[in-house]
């Protein structure tokens, strides 16, 4: 198993920001790190499409709810508003499922 570490660019912690430039630098650094993480997540969608023998297995309602429940628990534990976390992840999951269908079709369709 490989452990990866995503670097986040230099930034102030939110409580130390004194200007909108400070805020924007922090947000931009986090956005770049999130893109890297989402790219890796997308790779797992490619792997799932490769592994699943049947296209009908791409959509899995129970798995969706399991992921959302885990994200909401992680959000609560870390102080992220569930009002942000849940809709963001539901959209992410929806787009990842669409991507996985496309990936499945490219490789097996």
Q: What is the pLDDT of residue 92?
A: 98
The average pLDDT across 82-89 equals 98
Kindly state the tokens that stand for 104. Answer: 């499945």
Question: pTM to 2 decimals?
Answer: 0.92
Cα–Cα distance for residue pair 45/10, rounded to 1 Å: 30
Kindly state the tokens that stand for 6. Answer: 């995503």
pLDDT level of residue 100 (50, 70, 90 thresholds): very high
- Which residues, at least 6 apart from 98, have a Cβ–Cβ distance to it below 8 Å? none
Cα–Cα distance for residue pair 72/5, rounded to 1 Å: 23
Nearest-CA neighbor of 70 among 88, 58, 86?
86
pLDDT at 1 over 90: no
């Amino acid at each position: 198993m490989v452990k990866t570490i995503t670097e986040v660019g230099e930034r102030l912690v939110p409580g130390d920001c004194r200007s909108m430039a400070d805020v924007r630098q922090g947000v931009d650094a986090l956005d770049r790190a999130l893109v890297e993480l989402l790219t890796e997540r997308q790779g797992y969608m490619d792997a799932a499409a490769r592994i699943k023998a049947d296209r009908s297995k791409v959509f899995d309602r129970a798995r969706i709810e399991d992921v959302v429940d885990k994200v909401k628990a992680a959000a609560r534990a870390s102080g992220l508003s569930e009002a942000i976390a849940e809709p963001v992840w539901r959209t992410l999951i929806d787009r990842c499922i669409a991507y996985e269908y496309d990936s499945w079709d490219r490789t097996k369709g």
